[in-house]
Amino acid sequence: QVQLVESGGGLVQAEGSLRLSCTTSGSIFAVAAMGWYRQAPGKQRELVATISTGGITNYTDSVKGRFTISRDNAKNTVYLQMNSLKPEDTAVYYCAASSWWYGTSWSPADFASWGQGTQVTVSS
């Protein structure tokens, strides 16, 4: 019931920055948390960050201090600001919606709705 559309991906050099956006529509009242995942070729999906409706955030250790997740509830939009990008950040980035807040423990099955993904490529 929730539709998610990512945008903002592209090609950047190492140490550069990108801001990803995820616009949501549909049953927004059912969404308690949003997350950003990424998946590189041949790799498992990796949770990057989560944010609750109230603004509580979590980050995987590899992006702490470099990435910031935020949301504008009035615009039904979630953002991922990515600074100091590294080649290992290269992946398809997906936003996802969850009906519940799971604190610091998450799995892909916790998210009922997914966007189509946006490619982020960081050159060395």
Is pLDDT of 28 > 80?
A: no
Query: Which pairing describes strands 91-98 and 33-39: parallel, antiparallel, or unpaired?
Result: antiparallel
* H helix intervals, the chain: none
DSSP class of residue 96 equals E
Instruction: Please report the pLDDT score of residue 74 as a whole number.
Output: 86
Residue 13's pLDDT band (cuts 50, 70, 90): very high
Closest residue by Cα to residue 122 from 93, 85, 94 = 85
